[in-house]
Structure 1
């Protein structure tokens, strides 16, 4: 039987609160540090390794975290989720994004529809469509091939797919998989759409409108912006647009689109990169085979997350240590620091994934929780971040746990040797140095140059950013967020916090406002 209990009611959590904090400077200095780096790591999917040597845990704390995982029934809850339980209690929905990339458990059938079969069908339809675009069977109204793809969407319809596209763009160019360049329009600010349209050959562009409900204000506004631009070029928008939506939305059977591909209410926007939301743009840009490799990596990551022993489950272990840092040590933020330019927008995607999922102050039953949940996520690629906000991370008054991501090889492998080392070697040297600098610090009589150390971090190390590796990395963080939501006993799969502002904005546009809202509207000359 599954028990959904608050974190502070669990005996193992109370034991964790009484644990002796680890002195990172002590354990990471000298031979003990070298020993930890070798021992405190666990294999991940797609050849990654999760190394947590510089996180503030020891064998005793890890033993208690294992007990916490078992008491909180993390594996059982994950099994319930992928077998089709109504885990999204706020919206009374199943949570099925794992099914978009594989079958982890028993068949999930809803209203007579096998959902795995449904998602595979959509992937096959997208693959067929993309192949026809690439070989010139589907062309613009002048009979010419499409050369660019533009995705119109916001939130999960933009952040994940955009981050995934940018992560694979250079890899695809090097490996002969770059078939169409992709662009993204998300912000309702007209400058966003204008800038993209100015950079695109509109006559040879195919536009993807992504809205599950078919009613997203920003997305429909940008669609109108694009349609107007197409008409000004003497083009029929219906010959240049496809939709990714639900089967029940007003976009589904509309003659305004070349085709429509479907998702459903069981795929949250921030978890939708492996659905048609990411599938259409990535298949058009790089080919269906590349998207299939991406899904393969995500499936491998999901399989790793089913391991019941937390010490062999990198996603669960990462989640447990993160909750310890948040709820026992009191650290409110985590910085995600990929030492890979390919992952330049990956932290932005993780901001939504994590903060929209677990930024909750009530539990699954709508009751206030008496402990901290969620965390503030931010980040930039290294080494850029080192010359930006690392000053605060090293010597500021707050301790911010760090999640490094590093790769042994660059994507292009087109490097130069300068002063005895290549650019990639310099990049890797920097991430290794930062981990030790943050954890060990440096004593100096001049306090302005003194580094206290004791700043925790972990690193995920992979071979190279490839489609399979990217899918596995995405699944790691999705499942980490899920496990943390289970521990905090919150619903990680709704997002009521985004609704109030939308409602008030509609009131402003309708002229239905008073008091402060009216005055702010006046200030902005609305």
Structure 2
């Protein structure tokens, strides 16, 4: 096992220097930083290809960045990055590599893990996936009655659902008509019932994605889908397996469910669920946009991997974005993050990043099990613009606690509705400007007087119409939301999360915090479904179980 550092990161000289710097600059306003530096945007915005990361509206100064880069060095970040990319087992609690980047490597590269080059295996599975995708999309692979598939029900949960669901929505303009894709994740029967109600069983393909093929929610939904197909196919029910594809890290396990080996795609234990959309878990994406475009998605992710691995620290987008987040959380006390994509296709991005960030970095001990004395992952939330503006932006602008925000803005639209896109862009840029600049009480009062309000009325309303500003935000500009740049965007966030986990000294690749609730659900389920079974619980849980057992099942 790797040796822990002599001191936790918050006891190092680099951390103390940042804390002292934060005290000295805390009262400086972003307006003043821009006023003092006409080139602030140029100096605090960074590029990877056509993707631009604008950190100029973060509360950063040259000294801040210098000290943050010192902190990254103190945390040994370059070495942890290189270990990850080389396939070392940096997921210490599970003794695994965290090698989702290998899923994006070109075929002519090599990466040896545990004595085996994993790249050929990755591309063999991509080839198998391509054969399936082409057969399904062409109509050569049909269901038990000979009908071509017109519906897909993708069953998974967590990373097996959130990534593909987000990507299928994001890349909808690239989907060909004739194949509707539905996602089912919740064990609530409403989820699977509503999906099957929209599908013709004879023309429905079911994808079951589970690393272990034992996940309770996924396998319950899969069994219900199997029963639905058997019941609906009538005389062809014996051929139900023609309607299923399994995706698992153990290719033997889906056979117990009844899915034959030739209909099972594989990924590996070094692929974490929340990093798995690049693997066979991305089959629904490939079915939607076609395999060549899925490969464009991989290429975009790989371009960001190469940038993260090779760009100088002062120009490295994931590193700088991660450091800005560290500054906000640990030195300015901002423990939330609003994700604000100004593209309806990214409507599921915030949900995806909630898992990617909060499951990765929501930890209370370091890699070696030592309790942390500082905050880690922020609370992530968000909605696409302009919907969020009419919901929670009030708190962003005038709430007493600043909320850092990420504005994700594709400059081009797939839809020939220029007026709509111009309005969208105007709102994105205006909201970021308003968060930064604010509006003083005097400005608010002067505007109302100019509009004809009386001095007394203007003075009374001015406090309500003033905005403090100085709210930090990042803007990410994409030329368009296409597979390549979407891949770059998601890889940017993956690496940003990794950067922050490294600096906090935590393992970003396990998720033990989700286990206890699952374990406790088992005995409770036994009590709910068995007449004479009793387990020990606290008084509230016991009372709620009794009430639930008394419910009507009619």
The reply to whether TM is greater than 0.5 is yes
Structure 1 residues 182 and 90: CA distance shift in structure 2, 3 A: same
Q: CA deviation at 1:410?
A: 1.0
Residues in 1 aligned to 2:8 and 2:439: alpha-carbon distance in whole angstroms: 40
Asked whether the 8 Å contact 1:25–1:441 carries over to 2, the reply is no
Q: Deviations over 1:20-65 (max 9, x none)?
A: 3252343355x447532233100025x1100011101011111111
Asked whether the 8 Å contact 2:107–2:119 carries over to 1, the reply is no
Structure 1 residues 105 and 434: CA distance shift in structure 2, 3 A: farther
Q: CA deviation at 1:103?
A: 6.3
Q: CA deviation at 1:479?
A: 0.4
Equivalent residue for 1:419?
A: none
Say which is worse superposed, 223-232 or 334-343, in terms of deviation: 223-232
Q: Deviations over 1:214-266 (max 9, x none)?
A: 10000010011111111121244311000000126521576434600011211
Q: Deviations over 1:292-339 (max 9, x none)?
A: 000000001111111353221000000011011101111110001000
Q: State how 1:39-438 maps to structure 2 within 5 Å.
A: 39-45=43-49, 47-102=50-105, 107-110=110-113, 112-169=115-172, 171-173=173-175, 177-178=176-177, 180-234=179-233, 235=237, 236-247=239-250, 250-251=253-254, 255-257=258-260, 259-278=263-282, 280-307=283-310, 309-412=312-415, 414-416=416-418, 422-438=419-435
Equivalent residue for 1:26?
A: 31
Residues in 2 aligned to 1:68 and 1:308: alpha-carbon distance in whole angstroms: 18
Q: CA deviation at 1:106?
A: 8.3
Q: CA deviation at 1:14?
A: 1.3
Q: Deviations over 1:110-131 (max 9, x none)?
A: 4553222211111111001111
Asked whether the 8 Å contact 1:83–1:105 carries over to 2, the reply is no
Residues in 2 aligned to 1:123 and 1:106: alpha-carbon distance in whole angstroms: 15
* Structure index of larger Rg: 2
Residues in 2 aligned to 1:34 and 1:339: alpha-carbon distance in whole angstroms: 27
Asked whether the 8 Å contact 1:340–1:381 carries over to 2, the reply is yes
Q: Deviations over 1:57-108 (max 9, x none)?
A: 0111111112222222212211111112110011111111000001699844
Residues in 2 aligned to 1:306 and 1:493: alpha-carbon distance in whole angstroms: 19
Consecutive unaligned residues of structure 2, counting only runs of 5 or more, are: 442-458, 528-533
Asked whether the 8 Å contact 1:230–1:237 carries over to 2, the reply is yes
Residues in 2 aligned to 1:2 and 1:316: alpha-carbon distance in whole angstroms: 24
Structure 1 residues 111 and 486: CA distance shift in structure 2, 3 A: closer
Residues in 2 aligned to 1:193 and 1:42: alpha-carbon distance in whole angstroms: 44
Q: CA deviation at 1:453?
A: 0.7
Matched residue count: 513
SS at match of 1:158: helix
Say which is worse superposed, 7-16 or 487-496, in terms of deviation: 7-16
Find out whether 1:449 has 2:465 as its counterpart: yes
Residues in 2 aligned to 1:399 and 1:461: alpha-carbon distance in whole angstroms: 23
SS at match of 1:515: coil
Asked whether the 8 Å contact 1:160–1:270 carries over to 2, the reply is yes
TM-score (norm 1): 0.93
Asked whether the 8 Å contact 2:437–2:469 carries over to 1, the reply is yes
TM-score (norm 2): 0.89
Residues in 1 aligned to 2:9 and 2:178: alpha-carbon distance in whole angstroms: 49
Structure 1 residues 228 and 9: CA distance shift in structure 2, 3 A: same
